[in-house]
Amino acid sequence: MPETAARLRRTVGDGQRLVVKVGSSSLTSAGGGHLDLTALQALVDVLAARRAQGRQVVLVSSGAIAAGLGPLGLSRRPTDLATQQAAASVGQGALVAAYQAAFSVHGLTVGQVLLTADDVTRRAHYTNARRTLERLLELGIVPIVNENDTVATQEIRFGDNDRLAALVADLVGAHALVLLTDVDSLYDGPPSDGGSQRVPLVATLEDLDAVRIGGTGSAVGSGGMVTKVEAAGIAGAAGIPTLLTRLGDVTDALAGEDLGTVFAPAAATRASRKRWLAHATTARGRLVLDEGAVAAVTHRRKSLLPAGITGVEGAFAAGDPVDVCDPEGTVIARGLVTYAASELPRLLGRSTRDLARDLGPGYEREVIHRDDLVVL
């Protein structure tokens, strides 16, 4: 095993604080719709062993919707949000009860933390979520995190728990992220293809150029290998390495064995607020810029002023995240606007000095301040 990969695996295995994400397909029966209590106990045994070593674990667990399918008489994950939320309502209680029973064997207590995307995208919510998780860890509790599927609307959903896990890893300052799936590793093509090769190490994004990645492979999940690779990228941007492996291999993988795929963190990382803007927000609209404003924002790292905006799309409020686009519509940045969409059309193309003179001093401000703007 190359030294870089071996070192990264030791970093993951030795991490004092791990965020571990397990997918629906690893926790439910082969037909879906029922929790596989044997698999769940096996996972808990691994996590409890780390706790016994004095390490901290945050578990991000899928399975609530999948666990509710059987009782509702459904064979596959529903596509409409209302039925997904009904399944989550039925399955969430069963999932947490199963975890509590499994951890209690080891004398451990769990705490349920349900999040929506708003909880890690709006700054006040973000701070409160971090404070809650930190306090649970201080008290010796094992936090079990899931998306709040029963109340999340389409606009504030994560969409998959891989992204949620990466954001939680950043939120709590984890030393490593572990993604557990039903596939033993990342491959350079579909694992079912005879010629596909395992990818043991992803050192840089360029290592993924020759990799063909598939989508959701389970009838009960919402993610797939694409979302896991994206999650590793989000964690990497925060300086956090990621290990992707299957549940049956996780003990040996955390012991440093050459199993699964390890993703190296980025060499240069953004400040936490910039990471939050880039990865934890969902744009509520778009601003189209002229070429001069594009250069000012991307190359000179300037704030975005009304004079450089040529178009406004979407319905957003002041403080919402929006995508910033070049004249061809390509997204180049994301930021938090200081104006609502309804206010902007009459301001476009005008200098802040003119706006202050004609409309009042309150209009002598940026549309997006550079501290609230991240170039993508």
What CA–CA distance (Å, rounded) separates 233 from 352?
38
Q: How confident is the model at residue 224 (pLDDT cuts 50, 70, 90)?
A: confident
Q: What is the mean pLDDT of residues 201-218?
A: 75
What CA–CA distance (Å, rounded) separates 95 from 146?
11
Question: Of residues 74 and 311, which shows the higher confidence score?
Answer: 311
Average pLDDT, whole number, for the chain? 87
Q: What is the mean pLDDT of residues 227-252?
A: 93
Structure confidence by residue, pLDDT tens digits, 56-107: 999 999 888 878 888 888 888 788 888 888 888 888 888 999 999 999 999 9
pLDDT for 33 equals 61
pLDDT for 317 equals 93
Task: Write the CB contacts of 244 (distance below 8 Å, at least 6 apart in sequence).
Answer: 178, 179, 181, 185, 186, 228, 232, 260, 261, 262, 263
Structure confidence by residue, pLDDT tens digits, 315-343: 999 988 999 999 999 999 999 999 999 99
Instruction: Give yes or no for a contact between 59 and 65, defined as CB atoms under 8 angstroms apart.
Output: no
Query: Considering only 113-117, 339-343, 354-358, which range has the smallest mean pLDDT?
Result: 113-117
What CA–CA distance (Å, rounded) separates 95 from 150?
14
What CA–CA distance (Å, rounded) separates 37 from 43?
10
Domains in the chain, CATH or no CATH each: 3-275 (3.40.1160.10), 283-375 (2.30.130.10)
pLDDT for 149 equals 59
pLDDT for 221 equals 42
Instruction: Give yes or no for a contact between 158 and 223, defined as CB atoms under 8 angstroms apart.
Output: no
Structure confidence by residue, pLDDT tens digits, 132-164: 999 999 999 999 998 775 555 554 355 578 888
Q: Which amino acid is at 345?
A: P
CA angle 308, 275, 337 (to 5 degrees): 35
pLDDT for 3 equals 64
pLDDT for 158 equals 52
What CA–CA distance (Å, rounded) separates 303 from 367?
8
Quote helix, strand, coil % in the chain, to nearest 5: 40, 20, 40
Buried b (16+ CB within 10 A) or exposed e, 319-350: ebbbbbbbeeeeeebbbbbbbebeebeebbeb
Q: How many CB atoms lie within 10 A of CB 301?
A: 10
Query: Considering only 49-63, 200-214, 253-267, which range has the smallest mean pLDDT?
Result: 200-214
Q: How confident is the model at residue 222 (pLDDT cuts 50, 70, 90)?
A: very low
Spatial CA neighbour of 328 closest among 344, 310, 340: 310
